[in-house]
């Protein structure tokens, strides 16, 4: 079954707004797992506006399921990830200052760079995933970098889901089939929510993990985090 990894960036953003430890990020991660989450995802950014680099080791120390760190592989990010050694690192082509991740790697253009970076993580026992557009050619090039998995950017799918869900999912199905050809595991994330999640999970072959943060935490404001995690797990299992 597809695993649910909860991205807790927005929880850290609320904590940082007051400069205190409320909500307690570490306890929140532990509670998410107790409520059924099968992984915890964080995405530290250069300005540390939500997850801070000093959050990483305390989170690794308590996460019992799977700890996934996302981010652009600049020198500091690589150094910190190698120190913490999460179960998975997801490499995202974010330029400095962006609000959120909104595109995948050009794996053909950056193949040499990615090969070198991926090797550094893999020799340290860290599984690597590349954030990609749902494009079979990008997946094919990713297969030549040494990555273990890819993570499809699902923002375009979510935006077009209510207009025409068949068209919205088509490129993702084709790209997932190419991932199987390349021997790559498939993850997905960005703007997946209670409305579009079940359709996506049922359509994508070999979908191992979805990483969901903004929508899930937003839903928790109304329903509570324990209920919301159960709601998302139910949507995955349908």
Q: Report how far apart, in Å, the C-alpha atoms of 206 and of each of 96, 176, 178, 187, 190 are.
A: 32, 7, 11, 9, 18
Domain boundaries along the sequence of the chain: 3-237
In the residue annotation, 156 being an active-site residue is answered as no
Instruction: Give the model confidence (pLDDT) of 171-224 as tens digits.
Output: 999 999 999 999 999 999 999 999 999 999 999 999 999 999 999 999 999 999
CATH 3.20.20.70 fits 3-237, yes or no: yes
Instruction: Give the model confidence (pLDDT) of 20-38 as tens digits.
Output: 999 999 999 999 999 999 9
Instruction: Give the model confidence (pLDDT) of 132-162 as tens digits.
Output: 999 999 999 999 999 999 999 999 999 999 9
Exactly one of 33, 43, 50, 178 is catalytic; name it: 43
* pTM of the predicted protein model: 0.95
Give residue 98's pLDDT: 52
Burial label for 74, CB within 10 Å (0-12, 13-18, 19+), is exposed
Coil, helix or strand for 238? coil
CA atoms within 13 A on the CB side of 5: 29
Exactly one of 33, 50, 66, 70 is catalytic; name it: 70
The helix (run of H) or strand (run of E) holding residue 70 is: strand 67-71
In the residue annotation, 190 being an active-site residue is answered as yes
Contacts of 44 (CB under 8 A, 6+ apart): 50, 51, 52, 53, 55, 56, 69, 71, 77, 80
Coil, helix or strand for 127? strand
Exactly one of 133, 151, 190, 209 is catalytic; name it: 190
Contacts of 113 (CB under 8 A, 6+ apart): none
């Amino acid at each position: 079954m597809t695993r649910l990894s909860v991205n807790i960036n927005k929880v850290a953003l609320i904590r940082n707004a007051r400069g205190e430890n409320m909500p307690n990020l570490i306890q929140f991660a532990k509670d998410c797992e107790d409520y059924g989450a099968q992984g915890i995802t964080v995405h530290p950014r250069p300005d540390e506006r939500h997850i801070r680099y000093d959050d990483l080791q305390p989170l690794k120390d308590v996460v019992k399921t799977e700890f996934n760190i996302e981010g652009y592989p600049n020198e500091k990010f690589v150094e910190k990830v190698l120190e913490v050694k999460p179960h998975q690192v997801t490499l995202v082509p974010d330029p400095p200052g962006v609000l959120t991740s909104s595109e995948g790697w050009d794996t053909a253009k950056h193949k040499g760079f990615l090969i070198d970076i991926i090797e550094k993580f893999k020799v340290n026992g860290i599984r690597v995933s590349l954030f990609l557009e749902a494009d079979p050619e990008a997946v094919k090039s990713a297969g030549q970098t040494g990555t273990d998995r890819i993570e499809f950017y699902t923002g375009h799918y979510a935006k077009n889901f209510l207009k025409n869900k068949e068209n919205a999912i088509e490129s993702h199905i084709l790209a997932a089939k190419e991932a199987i050809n390349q021997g790559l595991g498939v993850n997905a994330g960005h703007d997946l929510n209670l409305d579009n999640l079940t359709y996506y999970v049922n359509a994508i072959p070999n979908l191992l993990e979805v990483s969901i943060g903004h929508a899930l935490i937003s839903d928790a404001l109304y329903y509570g985090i324990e209920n919301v995690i159960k709601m998302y797990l139910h949507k995955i299992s349908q």
